[in-house]
Amino acid sequence: MKKALVPGTFDPITNGHLDIITRAASIFDEVVVAVALSAKKNTLFPLDRRVELVEEAVKDLPNVTVKGFDGLLTDFAFEQGAHCVVKGLRAITDFEYEFQMAAMNWQLHRAVETFFIMSPPEYMYLSSSIVRELASMNGKFEKFVPENVVPALKEAYSK
């Protein structure tokens, strides 16, 4: 059984994330979407809500589960029995940062490999913060997020 983690903050999950999760689920036997607390990020949605939104978005993928975590990613991967971490690579600007994280994770736990899946062109410049900015300014963000995220974002910015 090949088990992989797809980690991230998912504040909120976008169609770019969903593309990576779906493709990982077609390669690995089991995928755990690891939703990080990311305390430093001052997120719009609390961890339990981010987990719920991801769960709803991936409900049709039978080999995908969703878990929140705090602490080191490699420790969580080890705890979950996952030998692979899958990350999406978007524009070239992601490369340096992802390279650094993958190298550090390799130092921390040799048993955990990092795999990169290239984002398709339509999602190359998509990010959660761009979606949040659009939603906060009444921009059209709907086509960038899973259906269940639309009302959640609208509600968050109606306050």
Q: Which positions touch ligand COA (CB under 6 A)?
A: 7-9, 11, 14, 16-17, 20, 36, 38, 72-73, 88, 90, 101, 104-105, 119, 123, 126-129
Structure tokens at 134: 């659009």
Could you confirm whether 83 is annotated as catalytic?
A: no
Task: Identify the active-site residue in 87, 90, 119, 132.
Answer: 90
Say how far apart CA 134 and CA 18 lie, in whole Å.
Answer: 19
Can you name the residues that pair with 69 across neighbouring β-strands? 36
Task: Identify the active-site residue in 23, 50, 87, 128.
Answer: 128
Could you confirm whether 41 is annotated as catalytic?
A: yes
Strands lying side by side in the sheet with 64-69: 64-69, 30-36, 3-8, 84-89, 113-118
Question: Which H/E stretch holds residue 18?
Answer: helix 15-27
Least distance between ligand COA and beta carbon 28 (Å): 16
Task: Identify the active-site residue in 41, 129, 136, 154.
Answer: 41
Least distance between ligand COA and beta carbon 118 (Å): 9
Active-site residue set: 17, 41, 90, 128
